[in-house]
Amino acid sequence: MTEIKKEELNEYLSEDYLNAKEAAELLEISEEELHALVEKHQIPSHSMAGVFLRLKKKEIEDLKIKWRIERELFPKRSRFFSHSNTVEKARFLEKLKDFWYFNDFYILCSILILLLLYTILST
């Protein structure tokens, strides 16, 4: 078993460390996402005794600021209308009306052809 040096212990005690739950709350992500980012080495972390995951508060706050800057300077383009929360989603009846509006000619022609085939084949 390795011993902790007195200087390392004092350094650990002098700095503010967060556990995984506190860091996830500060970054506004789930604990699962935090652990995944730690495994990918995208978030600096420190494990105590190989079991307890600890994150320096200063590093997490810096990371949050970095993420905010990236979000504001380089926003991700959404695949859909960017203000989707201001536009109501189409309901089933509205989708059905749109389908009929754009395809009524083809539907009626198909019915007419089927009727003609039925009359020709039944005689």
* pLDDT digit string, tens, across residues 16-71: 888 888 888 988 888 888 888 888 888 888 776 666 678 888 888 998 898 888 88
Task: Give residue 96's Cα distance to chain centre.
Answer: 31
What is the per-residue burial (b if ≥16 Cβ within 10 Å, else e) of 50-61?
A: eeebbbbeebbe
The whole-number pLDDT of residue 121 equals 94
| pLDDT-based confidence at residue 83 (cuts at 50, 70, 90) | very low
- Token pair listed for 22: 């506190």
Spatial CA neighbour of 35 closest among 21, 16, 15: 21
CA gyration radius for the chain? 30
Strand partners, 56: 17
Q: pLDDT tens digit string along 12-26?
A: 555 688 888 888 898
Task: Give residue 9's Cα distance to chain centre.
Answer: 38
